[in-house]
Amino acid sequence: MAAILISGHYPSIQEQDIPRNPTIKIYLNKAINTSSVKKNNIIVTDYLYNPVAGTVGWDYINAGTPSGIPTILTFTPDSYLDPETTYTVTLPDYPDSVMAVDGSYIQQTYSYRFYTGTATTTNSTPTIIERWEMDLAAAVARQDYAEAARLQALINGTASGTIELPDTATVPSGLILLETYPVHQQSNIPFSELPFFKLSFNDTMPASGIDYNAYINVITKNVLE
């Protein structure tokens, strides 16, 4: 079983002028078992190694859509962070790691730093391009150059994507894919919609008594053109 990987985060590595009331977001490559989320999944400390009090939670990629999946681990400080201060974010490995729905964990402790801005710095929410740029910085930092190339292609607008279903022999009899979004060979998809996808089938769960989740978890790939 593959370990959980960190695909990006906000703030990014060594990022400066971060608002004093940020929601720290850790983007993971697997869906989170939300019942496993606990306060030690994210540890934030100041430059004197004093822990920051806050709440650990989760957020959804594509929230509010049919493909909404809890893949973002969050940390919200209980009060404003100190201005112009270095903070360290640590994601511990097992047994304090968050758990994915498949039972896997982060298997190597991961830490990085960011710096808060002045007392007047206001909060801001990163755009999708800014999030890709943050993910790109994280990929380069961990020397995952294949992922870095993919993200750079997304930022440059020179990437295409594929959606793959499991082997048809494993799909329950009678389950038919009716439509998809994006549709086959669709082009010029706005950046704001690029992470979204939707699959519509001719049956729904769980009327037949079969858990289709095991069959319709698609594989998405972004490839360079």
Mind giving me the DSSP string for 24-76? Answer: EEEEESS-B-GGG--GGGSEEEETT-PBPPEEEEEEEETTTSTT-EEEEEEEE
For tokens 């992470």, what's the residue? 195
What would the two tokens of residue 194 be? 């690029």
For tokens 């859509």, what's the residue? 65
| Per-residue DSSP letter, 66 | T
Lowest mean pLDDT among 13-22, 55-64, 137-146, 198-207: 198-207
Amino acid in the structure at residue 45: T
Residue 91 neighbours by CB under 8 Å, 6+ apart: 6, 26, 41, 42, 43, 73, 97, 98, 106, 109, 110, 111
pTM over 0.85: no
- Please choose, from the candidates 98, 100, 138, the residue with its C-alpha nearest in 3D space to the C-alpha of residue 10: 138
Average pLDDT value for the chain: 76
For tokens 């669709």, what's the residue? 186
pLDDT at 88 > cutoff 70: yes
Local confidence band at 174 (pLDDT 50, 70, 90 cut-offs) = low
Lowest mean pLDDT among 39-53, 74-88, 114-128: 114-128
The pLDDT, as a whole number, for residue 79 is: 86
The pLDDT, as a whole number, for residue 8 is: 87
For range 152-170, the mean pLDDT: 63
What would the two tokens of residue 215 be? 């069959």
For tokens 């389950």, what's the residue? 175
Dist CA 119 CA 18 (whole Å): 11
CB 199 within 8 A of CB 214: no
Q: Where are the domains of the chain?
A: 6-122, 160-224
CATH architecture of 6-122: Sandwich (2.60)
What would the two tokens of residue 89 be? 């974010």
For range 146-157, the mean pLDDT: 72
> What residues does 55 pair with on adjacent strands?
76
The pLDDT, as a whole number, for residue 33 is: 93
Local confidence band at 35 (pLDDT 50, 70, 90 cut-offs) = very high
Residue 62 neighbours by CB under 8 Å, 6+ apart: 68, 69, 195, 196
For range 158-187, the mean pLDDT: 64
